[in-house]
Structure 1
Amino acid sequence: MVALTSAMRGTQLARLLGQWHALPGRRRSPDYAALAGAVRGLLSDGRLALGVRLPAERELAESLAVSRTTVSAAYRRLRDSGHLTSRRGAGSWTTLPAGHRVASSGLWTPADDLNLIDLGCAALAAPPQLPDVVRAAADDLPRYLGGAGYHPVGIGELREAVAAGYDARGLPTHPDQIMITNGTQHALDLVLRLLVPAGAGVLVESPTYPNALAALAARRARIATHGVDAGGWDDELLLGSLRQGRPSLAYVIPEFQNPTGQLMSADLRERLVVAAQAVGTDLVVDESFADLALDGGPMPPPVAVFDRRSRVVSIGGMSKPYWGGLRIGWVRASAPLVQRLAALRVGVDMASPVLEQLVAVRLLAQADVIVGARRRELTARRDALAAALRQCLPEWSFAMPAGGVTLWAELDGPISSALARAAERLGVRLAPGPRFGLDGTLERFLRLPFTLAPAELEEAVRRIAAARYDLDYVTEPRWATPQVIA
């Protein structure tokens, strides 16, 4: 979630709300209902966090250029639906409505909404080999039981396995350069704690991974962006942003970028490292999707291949190619930096679970079989999703991703947030474009993961198409019992 401050100013909320007053269907709803729906959408897709104090009614009214009566009625509607709690003289705070829970994506969902098709979470179910692997890993556990079980940099055999994976990709790596973490997000958080002082400048892609934006906001970083679109990265814009802004750190996802699915060329990888090192910028390279090439072409070398000054930090993990429930990630960096991260980590969570690390060792030993099957599975699902979009929503456009798990669709108008709210009523959870950017931008885009079975994806697209139709042609607003999506 991007909004991590305990209080939000009127201008901040106005930027997040964006074109709330100009979305399809706006003419059919009173101003206060449209405003309440837009705020509810920010809550549902994670751009507003729990416990944030919203602006006073007068302040928000001035920022939105509407009457205070409109804001007052919108706040009252949000209180009635359980999304807001107010106390006279103290303000109004965002709250979790009764009957809701935190979903697998980290966002909110109705506790009893079991039939929702969830396109808000881009992750696969566990591979069929996992139960047998876990049982075998349990047999490996006794040799670790004689110690305390704390391994801040990870157990040796898993570090060796991860290092071997980098060797196979053409990047010679010693196990001392590997630190095992509790998932890729944990790896990113530790790296940012070490390398990004409060208020430092950071360059990220737009769109980008929303949890990375949240981690940077927690560090109070000054975030600058450069665009990634259907054609990939604008090389000169990216390199120029580095040279002119001279950020402390840059965060990139070069393999099948989340959410666009773009693959960075080898030439740009090399130029990026050279430009970053020339201005003293550390590069954090998220390789979460590096194993999920779908079209069989040659992969560019890892970004760190071009590193000559130990300024590239690579992070990755097991969540995307294997299973998100296995909380295993890693950092690849210089050995001294790994030791500094380990010293920092001890004050945070000590170490990763030994049994899960042993499971990871055995999964990596079967990588050819397991990941090969994942690629075939994802290819079929990607193709099914693309075909359904072309049939049901031909006015939308997208670039076919060559790997990863997500497709980035350009819509026929700035309607992403409104469409997400409409689709919720039809049983589909969506992640609207603005969730992947800053301050209400990217309303013309929608991230669609292809991690569900083809039949589910096809049904989801049919419902999304119906929701898109409703935005233009439903004559009366259909207010369902308030629910929250991720």
Structure 2
Amino acid sequence: MTSTATRAEPPLTSDRRVSGHGVRSIIGSWSRPGAAYGALADALRQAVLSGALPLRTRLPSERELAEALGVSRTTTTAAYDTLRDEGYLTSRRGSGTVTTLPTRLPSTTGQFRAAQGADDLVDLTTAAPFAPDELHAAVRDALDLLPRYLPTTGYFPGGLPELRAAIAARYTERGTPTTPDQVLVTTGGQEAIHLLVGAHAGPGDRVLLEHPTYPHAIDAVRAASARPVVVPSGPDGIDLDLFASTLRQASPRLAYLIPDHRNPTGTSLSADARAQVRELADRTRTLVVGDEALTDLTLEGPDPASFAGDGTSPHVACLGSASKGYWGGLRIGWVRGHRDLVGRLTVHRGHVDIGSSVLDQLVVARLLADRDAVLARRRQQLRERRDLVRALIAQRLPSWTPNRPAGGLSLWVDLGAPVSSALAALAPRHGVRVAAGPAFGVEPGLERYLRVPFTEPPDRLELAVDGLARAWAELGVDDDVRASSPTGSLVVV
């Protein structure tokens, strides 16, 4: 087999090793029509690209993986050979087979159709919008304000005073009285999550998460060597009875929820449910964190009630981010909580980060001042794109069942069959990359579901759905269903 990419040469020695059964859990439902080794190679490649199989991780032997997957050793050998040639695996006698990445990808490779270059790949693994038109003016205004901070060191561990004041004013406006000393500005929402988890949970401690949930929250819990404990969320949000019993029985150090337009399902907690969550937090003395990164992206209906309520509970905290409502290039997030909590987090943060970019903070302060106009245009754009993707799916993938979220950035699509991982592995061949359902869960499952963001421009969204339709046709699920059902209707077991 001829190599189509230049291989990277990372050190082969690695403390990370994944077993055959571990690989089986990571790649999920990977089989599809056609050569089994090709389907397995696609699934492993997708796992490396998505980070599910970290780089410099030693894979099981071909024999061990074959036994775990119930396939022949010829299949695993051919799949490994394919990925070695492409530069996704590297091997050396005595050192095993280790995951890596090609140092470059050519304009056309075996992953894509011959007529399709790498530049045509539509990446739907990230649900985030492009910058708003108002960003340029906000940057100009921020540059005009910057000179007042030049005579300082530029280090503001708690955040720039005027941004903390702007965030506090926004919470107060939403019915949660807040002062600037109750706000900590962070370098993005992800840092806020890691700070909250790292300051409260360590090896073996339990952290409660919804199922499904934001993958980076799962990463933060695992990075702290804590133990995620999951509570399912359905169409009406989290199961409050199970949430209450889990708080009592598991005694988690922290609970992480997404109360508004939850990533990936789009559901929100009702005002009554929020009140019950706050009451449970106080009763069990458990810190409950509400991730409000998507709160401002309500597309239909009234804006959601503040997760923090009247803001008096020391056991309820909120975090936010400029990435989803404004732009991911602005690495600014924040935590709103009790003064004691903000103080502890500021000290904890000082071990790794002593402040966020002053210029970025000034830009976000300007965008918050003009938020009504910026968000109105953003919401209208997202409404149109949500409805476009739903219409395209109805036309080209009629067996799929997408939801219609009242806010957020993505659809949660029921595929009708447990093939999400196989589809995600196959999709790059057809010009689109997506995150499979299992990426959003701590426990195995979610193979029936696919997250489809609607943040790309309309022409790119059309290309993405076209690519998904081609990948779906190659997967052959609809054909299998028709063959197994005399009426041709979908049979769910």
TM over 0.5: yes
Offset of residue 178 of structure 1: 0.4
Question: Cα distance 1:308–1:59, how it changes in 2: closer, same or farther (>3 A)?
Answer: farther
In the TM superposition, residue 19 of structure 1 has moved relative to its aligned partner by: 2.9
Structure 2 residue 205 is matched with structure 1 residue 200 = yes
Q: Percent identity?
A: 47
1:119-150 residue CA offsets vs partner (Å, 9 max, x unmatched): 22111111111112111111111111111110
Q: Indicate the residue corresponding to 1:264 in structure 2.
A: 269
* CA–CA distance in structure 2, aligned partners of residues 35 and 238 of structure 1: 38
Aligned to 2:344: 340
Counterpart amino acid of residue 240 in structure 2: D
Q: Which residue of 1 aligns with 2:473?
A: 469
5 Å-filtered alignment, 1:180-329, equals 180-295=185-300, 297-305=301-309, 308-329=312-333
TM score, norm. by length of structure 2: 0.87
Q: Distance in 2 between matches of 1:255 and 1:82?
A: 41
Counterpart of 2:391 in structure 1: which amino acid?
Answer: A
| 2:436 matches 1:432 | yes
- Equivalent position of 1:24 in the other structure: 32
Please provide the CA RMSD for this pair: 2.2
Greater CA deviation, 237-246 or 40-49?
237-246
Q: 1:243 to 1:308 in 2, by over 3 A?
A: farther
Letter in 1 for 2:297: L
Residues 182 and 342 of structure 2 are in contact (CA less than 8 Å); yes or no, is this contact kept in structure 1?
Answer: yes
Please name the residue that 2:133 is paired with.
Answer: 128
Structure 1 counterpart of 2:169, one-letter code: A
The residue that corresponds to 1:423 in the other structure is 427
Aligned to 1:350: 354
Segment drifting more, 363-372 vs 448-457: 448-457
Partners of 1:376 and 1:402 in 2: how far apart?
A: 12
Give the Å deviation of 1:310.
0.6
Q: What is the aligned partner in structure 2 of residue 449 from structure 1?
A: 453
Q: Which residue of structure 2 lines up, in the alignment, with residue 13 of structure 1? A: 23
Is the alpha carbon distance of 1:66 and 1:469 closer, same or farther for their aligned partners in structure 2, counting shifts above 3 Å? closer
Unmatched tracts of structure 1, length 5 or more: 102-111, 476-486
Q: 2:175 aligns to what?
A: 170
Q: What is the Cα deviation at residue 24 of structure 1?
A: 3.2
Distance 1:306 1:159 in 2: 19
Q: How many residues align?
A: 456
- 1:154-184 Cα shifts (integer Å, max 9, x gaps): 1111000000010111000010000111110
Q: Is the 8 A contact 1:246 1:280 kept in 2?
A: no
* SS of residue paired to 1:452: coil
- Report the AA paired with residue 288 of structure 1: A
Deviations 1:392-425 (A, max 9, x none): 2121112210011111000021111222233211
State yes or no: 1:63 paired with 2:68: yes
Aligned to 2:398: 394
Larger mean Cα displacement after TM superposition, 282-291 or 32-41: 32-41
Write the mapping of 1:70-81 to structure 2, written as runs, cut at 5 A: 70-81=75-86
Shift of 1:5: 7.4
Output the amino acid matched with 2:292: E
| Matched-pair contact (CA < 8 Å) for 1:18–1:439 | no
Q: Residue 87 in 1 paired to residue 92 in 2? A: yes
Unmatched tracts of structure 2, length 5 or more: 1-13, 107-116, 480-493
Tell whether the 8 Å contact from 1:16 to 1:439 is kept in structure 2 after alignment.
no
- Distance in 1 separating the partners of 2:310 and 2:239: 20
Shift in Å at residue 385 of structure 1? 1.1
Determine the structure 1 residue equivalent to 2:335: 331
Is contact 1:50-1:95 (8 Å) kept? yes
Q: Is the 8 A contact 1:286 1:315 kept in 2?
A: yes
Q: Deviations over 1:45-103 (max 9, x none)?
A: 221111112223444344334444543343233212211112222222110123149xx
TM-score, scaled relative to structure 1: 0.89
